[in-house]
Amino acid sequence: MIFTKSVRLQQLPPYLFLELDRMKAEVREKGVDIIDLGIGDPDLPTPEFIVERMIASVKEARYHRYPSSRGMLSFRKAAAEWYKKRFDLSFDPASEVVVLIGSKEGIAHFPIAFVDPGDVVLVTTPGYPVYNIGTLFSGGETYYLPLIAENDFLPDLDSIPADILKRAKILWINYPNNPTAAVAPPEFFARVVDFAKENNIIVCHDNAYSEMTYDEYIAPSFLETPGAKEVGLEFHSLSKTYNMTGWRIGFAVGNPELIGSLAQVKSNIDSGQFEAVQEAGIAALESDQSCIRKMQEIYRERRDILVSGLRDLGLDTPFPKATFYVWTPVPKGYTSKDFSSLLLEKTGIVCTPGNGFGQSGEGYVRMALTVSKERLAEAVERFRQIF
Ligand SMILES: *Cc1c(COP(=O)(O)O)cnc(C)c1O
């Protein structure tokens, strides 16, 4: 037998961290104590009250049956209430909210509803890889919009050629941003709404990091922007907010036609998330949110240790206002890959080369604040040894 992979699978970009994974395994083999700042996965456990709700819910026989693919109405109500409290926005739980098996699932599936071969999807880069992959799986083409420091890591919408605009169906944006940790001012979102209306382009905003913010900064919802609900939807995740990456629970809110189409795709692919997990999600969304404030304080302390340490070494590392990523330019004379390889070999510290998130990430590395402050202080000590 010869198994020929589909063109869609064959055209997926190569996994850029393969080489780094190999080097990491090699260094670990030598017995080096590795400090891994490479992974964007919270290190602290899910809050106890959420776990307790899950334990109680697992025992409920009614949850052992097929869930609905749109998600429990009670979850959708809790999500709508959460948006009301957090952003003062109202959504109809019946038609304007859909539960996702992690937001990645919705992000990957959404283009199936709107993208045909020949269509273009506008994707910011460096960025979360799933925007591109969802596009390719739908047979569409990705047109990349670079995020560079000179533009505050916001895409230049005026730079898009007319023939691309004509074929473009979707624009993906993500603020607070992974990996650059950039945030978007309200004027940018307003510009996006105008752009979407002028060109008849759907806006998908990925708001996975809205609750991971520091100092005085409070992240907005894209849907707060006047007119936003006419053009788009917002993807939300409980993963980073409540340390629930393993649970696979998120949701999307916004324009009912767009939400309905995503729900239609999902009803033909999956049968929704286990309702006990949705119950745990309801506990998280309906809680007093003090667990979020605790996590913000923990990440802020970590951020200050790492960023101050990098700045003391002469790197021009900004203090991120949001996300648990530090996006730092590498020292002069290094590429992203050179620098991350050097760090790994000389110090046992793992970070992610910026170009792994797209060519525009060249010249940067991403460090995740997903180890304790003691370990970050140790990392800073080790940096000193090589500079
Ligand atoms: C982590 C992450 C997600 C995915 O979250 P899940 O809900 O766990 O699937 C989506 N977008 C960005 C930018 C992320 O970093």
Rounded mean pLDDT of the chain? 96
- Domain borders along the chain are 7-45+290-383, 48-286
- What's the CA-to-centroid distance between 127 and ligand 1, angstroms? 11
C-beta of 250 in contact with ligand 1 (< 6 A): yes
Quote the CA–CA distance of 257 and 230 in Å, as a whole number: 10
Tell me the C-alpha distance between 153 and 200, whole Å: 24
Using CA atoms, how far apart are residues 151 and 108, in angstroms rounded to an integer?
28
Nearest-atom number in ligand 1 for the CA of 244 is 8
10 Å CB burial of residue 333 (0-12, 13-18, 19+) is exposed
Using only C-alpha atoms, what is the Rg of the chain?
A: 21
As a CATH number, domain 7-45+290-383 is 3.90.1150.10
Distance 2 CA to ligand 1 centre (A): 35
| Best of 104, 172, 251 for a ligand 1 pocket test (most atoms within 8 Å of beta carbon) | 104
The residue written with tokens 């629930």 in the block is: 244
Whether residue 17 is predicted with pLDDT greater than 90 in this model: the reply is no
Rounded distance from Cα 103 to ligand 1 centre (Å): 6
Ligand 1, atom 4: closest residue by C-alpha? 104
The pLDDT assigned to 19 comes to: 78
E-strand ranges in the chain read 35-36, 97-100, 120-125, 141-146, 168-173, 202-206, 232-237, 250-254, 325-329, 349-350, 352-353, 364-368
Q: Which CATH architecture has domain 48-286?
A: 3-Layer(aba) Sandwich (3.40)
pTM over 0.85: yes
Q: Supply the pLDDT for residue 182.
A: 98
Q: How far apart are CA 239 and CA 299, in angstroms?
A: 15
140-151 CB burial, b ≥16 within 10 A, e <16: bbbbbbbbeeee
Of 39, 123, 207, 239, the residue with max ligand 1 atoms within 8 A of its CB, to mutate for a pocket test, comes to 239
Q: Provide the 3-class DSSP secondary structure of residue 48.
A: helix
Nearest CA to ligand 1 atom 11: 208
pLDDT surpasses 80 at 15: no
Pocket test for ligand 1, best of 100, 125, 173, 237 (most atoms within 8 A of CB): 237
Percent of the chain residues topping a pLDDT of 70: 100
* Residue pair 169/202 in contact by the 8 Å Cβ criterion: yes
Residue found by looking up tokens 């910011």 in the block: 124
pLDDT (average), residues 350-359? 95
Res 272: pLDDT: 95
**pLDDT for position 23:** 87
246 CA from centroid of ligand 1 (Å): 11
- Cβ of 138 less than 6 Å from ligand 1: no
239 lines ligand 1 (CB under 6 A): yes
Residue nearest to atom 2 of ligand 1 (CA): 208
Instruction: Check pLDDT > 80 for residue 252.
Output: yes
The CB density around residue 217, as the number of other CB atoms within 10 Å, is 11
Check whether 319 has a pLDDT greater than 80: yes
Query: CB of 128 closer than 6 A to ligand 1?
Result: yes
Domains 7-45+290-383 and 48-286 share a fold: no
C-beta of residue 254 within 8 angstroms of C-beta of residue 193: no
Tens of pLDDT, residue by residue over 362-374, are 999 999 999 999 9
* Residue 385 clears pLDDT 90, i.e. is over it: no
Question: Does the Cβ of 104 fall within 6 Å of ligand 1?
Answer: yes
**Ligand 1 atom nearest residue 100's Cα:** 7
Q: pLDDT band for position 117 (50/70/90)? A: very high
Ligand 1 atom at shortest distance from the alpha carbon of 178: 13
Q: What is the pLDDT of residues 300-309, one digit of tens each?
A: 999 999 999 9
Give residue 352 CA to ligand 1 midpoint distance, Å. 17
Contact 126, 357 (CB under 8 A): yes
Model confidence at 211, pLDDT cuts 50, 70, 90, reads very high
3-state secondary structure of 79: helix
What is the average pLDDT across 95-104?
98
- pLDDT of amino acid 13: 83
- Looking at the CA of residue 239, tell me the nearest atom of ligand 1: 8
| Ligand 1 close to Cβ of residue 323 (< 6 A) | no
Residue 149 pLDDT greater than 90, yes or no? yes
Q: Ligand 1: distance of its center to the CA of 351 in Å?
A: 18
